[in-house]
Structure 1
Amino acid sequence: MATQSSRAAARLMVAPSVIVLFIWMIVPLALTVFYAFRIYRLLSPERNGWAGLRNFSWFLNAPEFWIAITNTLLLVGGVLVITIVLGILIALLIDQPVWGQGPLRILVISPFFVMPPVAASIWENLFMHPQNGLFAAVSMGLGYKPILFMESYPMSSVIFIVSWEWLPFATLILLTALQSLSSEQLEAAEMDGAPAISRFRYIVLPHLTRAITVVILIQTIFLLGIFGEIFTTTQGGPGSASTTLPYM
């Protein structure tokens, strides 16, 4: 049983880590608030000064503001739906005892280690390029005109690229939760005559609820700050068709 002295010793040992973590979090937050009220030009420091509420006024009155909010919500919602649905399907697939399961898992998680600007450049130049891309070659081979992904479907293209980047994360979280499910429950349900869809709906899916919640929370935090993929591909265009709040 913990005594008062042992609790004090535990707090003392934990204190350095807590202090470092607090500083690591509070300093960027304080600087963000500070620069939000200032005019800051990196290349023209002599023009820096106090802005007051002018930055917020410009931001809220900008014609792209509501478009950026809509695009941000579309980006977050679209990526969450794609990664969760495909993540569950892929997790169910690679959880099966098949040959080559180890290399298959490595292949599935490999996109997560690619830097966002690099991943965006790969998709834009190797796959979605209107002249030299793989999709253009397939379209022209079938007798169709190549699709101008970045011009005609900019937001959908960004959502697709970001989903490809975050799908491994969702798959890993969901696979870990899936492997913690007792096989005896599924076997008992199967022996009782429950079809595969019912076993998934009433046993597997409720078991994955917490994992899905974790995926939603963590991905939402990072998706609200997506910048590199948009800057590398559409640069917020055409016009403001793919402009999000971080890109404004």
Structure 2
Amino acid sequence: MATDHTRTAARWMTAPSIILLLAWMIIPLAMTLYFSTLRYNLLMPGMEIFVGFENYAYFLTEPAFITGFFNTLIMVGSVLFITVCGGTLLAILMDQPFWGQTIVRLLVIAPFFVMPVVSALVWKNLLMHPVNGLFAFLAQSIGMEPFDFLGQAPLASIILIVSWQWLPFATLILLTALQSLDQEQQEAAEMDGAGIFSKFFYITLPHLSRAITVVILIETIFLLSVFAEILVTTNGGPGNASTTLTYLVYVKALLQFDVGSASAGGIVAVILANIVAFFLIRILGKNLDK
């Protein structure tokens, strides 16, 4: 009986925060759904008319959507590959005993605490600038022509910047998981004649599978909404070469002032993100059940 009263009291105490959280999510979503059914341009106030699913058809059939969709997939997949592989390698290296281990760990994790806008500005103006950047200086010092990263390889440059930001996160999660690995198991494998690669593929990698799944899930959710790095470095260009779905919604809303089409794009992006998250959560659940 006391337990029932405790549960009821707990529900009443948590109800306000849950209701506030739901309102915080549902109200903007409902407004976005409403605006997505209107022909609504900020340059023509008072001219809103109901058009149903016309905005969705327009957004899904324009060439920029196809380009943005594939750019988003390429960016997310590439960043995940770089951060998971690089994070695994760094975690294994930092798990080894060496002098200055604490300082090295702090330096490796530090990029994750840099604001995206700041890191994008650093990469754009100090590293990738085709005239005054560090990479241009290094190329000239060995007699090579400087390479215009943001002009000639914009999407690859953004992938590099975003990977640099998220690599510390993957490294930290994987290092934490690696430190829970049973050393006796590795010693037994060594006694049986297992080499470095055999221990990695048959002991270390299976042990890290759950941590890798968590990294993929969390990173994917955030990578689908990457925006600041694109705005600061390439503005989605040249042309649509580095435009993603998130940046395309920004263009529709704040550059073309087409609120209706931007709202439809936002709903499409949310649906696609939820589909991806659904499958990732299922994969995570299967790994956790093992």
1:129 match: 129
Shift of 1:103: 1.4
| C-alpha separation in 2, matches of 1:51 and 1:174 | 50
Q: Give the 3-state SS of the residue equivalent to 1:64 in structure 2.
A: helix
Instruction: Specify whether residues 224 and 46 from structure 1 end up closer, same or farther in structure 2 by C-alpha distance, changes over 3 A only.
Output: same
Aligned to 2:182: 182
Structure 2 equivalent of residue 221 of structure 1: 221
CA 1:107–1:40 in structure 2 vs 1: closer, same or farther (change >3 Å)?
A: farther
Where do 5+ consecutive residues of structure 1 fail to align?
A: none
Instruction: Give runs of aligned pairs for residues 153-164 of structure 1, distance below 5 A.
Output: 153-164=153-164
- Percent identity between the two aligned chains: 57
Give me the TM-score of the superposition, normalised by structure 1: 0.91
Cα distance in structure 1, aligned partners of 2:80 and 2:192: 35
Do the aligned partners of 1:38 and 1:48 also contact (CA within 8 Å) in 2?
Answer: no
* Range with greater deviation from structure 2 (88-97 or 8-17): 8-17
Aligned to 2:245: 245
8 A Cα contact 1:41 1:47, kept in partner: no
**2:188 partner amino acid:** A
Residues 36 and 179 of structure 1: CA distance in aligned 2, closer, same or farther (over 3 Å) = farther
Q: Does residue 49 in structure 1 map to residue 48 in structure 2?
A: yes
- Determine the C-alpha separation between the residues in 2 that align with 1:48 and 1:211: 52
TM, length-normalised to structure 2: 0.79
C-alpha separation in 2, matches of 1:183 and 1:73? 38
Equivalences for 1:60-71 in 2 at 5 Å? 60-71=60-71
Q: 2: distance between equivalents of 1:48 and 1:242?
A: 33
Name structure 2 gaps, 5 residues minimum: 249-290
Tell me whether 195-204 or 15-24 shows the greater mean CA deviation: 15-24
More divergent stretch after superposition (95-104 vs 26-35): 26-35
Assess if the C-alpha contact under 8 Å between 1:139 and 1:146 holds in 2.
Answer: yes
Equivalent residue letter for 1:71: N
CA distance in 2, matches of 1:48, 1:105: 57
Partner of 2:82: 82
- Indicate if the aligned counterparts of 1:120 and 1:161 stay in contact, CA closer than 8 A: yes
Q: Which amino acid in the other structure matches residue 45 of structure 2?
A: E
**Structure 2 CA distance for aligned equivalents of residues 50 and 100 of structure 1:** 65
Distance change in 2, residues 1:97/1:61 (3 Å)? same
- 1:27 Cα deviation after fit: 3.3
1:50–1:108 Cα change, 3 Å: farther
Aligned-pair distance for 1:126? 0.5
Distance 1:38 1:13, change over 3 A: same
Q: What is the one-letter code of the residue matched to 1:146?
A: P
Deviation of residue 142 (structure 1)?
0.8
1:186-225 → structure 2 map (5 Å cutoff): 186-225=186-225
Gap change, CA 1:40 and 1:233, over 3 Å in 2: farther
What residue number does 1:170 align with? 170
Match of 1:182, as an amino acid? D
Match of 1:6 in 2: 6
- Which residue in the other structure is 1:140 paired with? 140
Question: 1:22 deviation in Å?
Answer: 2.7
Superposed displacement of residue 222, structure 1: 1.0
Tell me, in whole angstroms, the C-alpha distance in 2 between the residues paired with 1:178 and 1:11.
Answer: 38
**Aligned partners of 1:23, 1:184: CA distance in 2, in Å?**
52
Please tell me whether the aligned partners of residues 82 and 163 of structure 2 are also in contact (alpha carbons under 8 angstroms).
yes
Is residue 41–residue 48 contact of structure 2 (8 Å, CA) maintained in 1? no
RMSD: 2.1
Question: Per-residue displacement from partner, 1:43-66 (whole Å, max 9, x unpaired)?
Answer: x58357345333222211212111
CA positional deviation for 1:20: 3.5
Q: Which has the higher contact order (CA 8 A, sep 6+)?
A: 2
**Cα separation, 1, equivalents of 2:99 and 2:192:** 29
